Structure 1
Amino acid sequence: MLQLQAVHHIAIICSDYEKSKRFYTEVLGFTVDREVCREARDSYKLDLSLNGQYVIELFSFPSPPARVSRPEACGLRHIAFKVADVEAAITALNAQGIFPEPIRVDEFTGKKFTFFADPDDLPVELYEI
């Protein structure tokens, strides 16, 4: 059996680099670890961390094709982040002009969660711990 230790990172390709960079840093609070301009590929690569842990590689490419996100397309469904208080997180998002779906309750754990979208309509979940 493969001996995996943890998830290393999540790679996201965005359509508008500056817009997505602002969303992940200023709205979600990620820290920029490294930003690289890859001139030969007309592309940027942004390494982002959360609470000191490397989490996201944000890429830009010229004219990336659209990916079906909803309804429930096959493939990566969403990314999810733990929060201490879903209602407080929603209030913070609302202040940024982002309005998540109504809060749901996980039928198995009884925990609250909600979804909203990043600038490219990638579903993002906030899950209360």
Structure 2
Amino acid sequence: MIEVQQIHHVSLAVTDIERAKRFYREILCLEEIDRPNFGFPGAWYQIGSQQLHLIVYPEAKTLRGTNELSSREGHFAFRVKSYDETLRWFKEKGVTIYENPTSKSGFAQIFVADPDGNLIELNTEQ
């Protein structure tokens, strides 16, 4: 039997690492950590005990080709401290969002897309 302990990391394909790093640093406020030299561009971020890995791979089949927001598309979620502060931050930065403060999931949700269309949910308890 497999006994999964936790998610270690999520990897996302991106097309332009500098553009992606600006988004994850300036919009999502993540701090980059050291990454081994794999011979291709990318970036790693520590988020609690998990990591986010960005990999430059323009041929990836997972690139959506759109920044259209939908809660039903594949995505990953960050838990944030404050829904209202997160919402205010995105609005100040001019980030396009999809709000779902009364989701049936029990989470108050905000969805954003990175520059390559990767969907990210930010949520809090309702």
- TM-score, normalized by length of structure 1? 0.78
Change (3 A) 1:45 1:65: closer
Structure 2: give runs of 5+ residues left out of the alignment.
none
Give the structure, 1 or 2, with the largest relative contact order (CA under 8 Å, sep 6 or more): 2
Q: In the aligned structure 1, how far is the partner of 2:60 from the partner of 2:54?
A: 16
TM-score, normalized by length of structure 2? 0.80
What RMSD in Å do the two structures reach over aligned CA positions? 2.3
Q: Secondary structure at the match of 2:116?
A: coil
Assess if the C-alpha contact under 8 Å between 2:17 and 2:42 holds in 1: no
Q: How does 1:1-129 map to 2 (within 5 A)?
A: 1-36=1-36, 38-39=38-39, 43-51=40-48, 53-61=49-57, 63-65=58-60, 67-68=63-64, 72=72, 77-109=74-106, 111-129=107-125
Deviation, 1:108, is 4.5
Uncovered stretches (5+) of structure 1, i.e. residues with no partner: none
Give the aligned length: 120
Does structure 1 conserve the Cα–Cα contact (< 8 Å) formed by 2:7 and 2:50? no
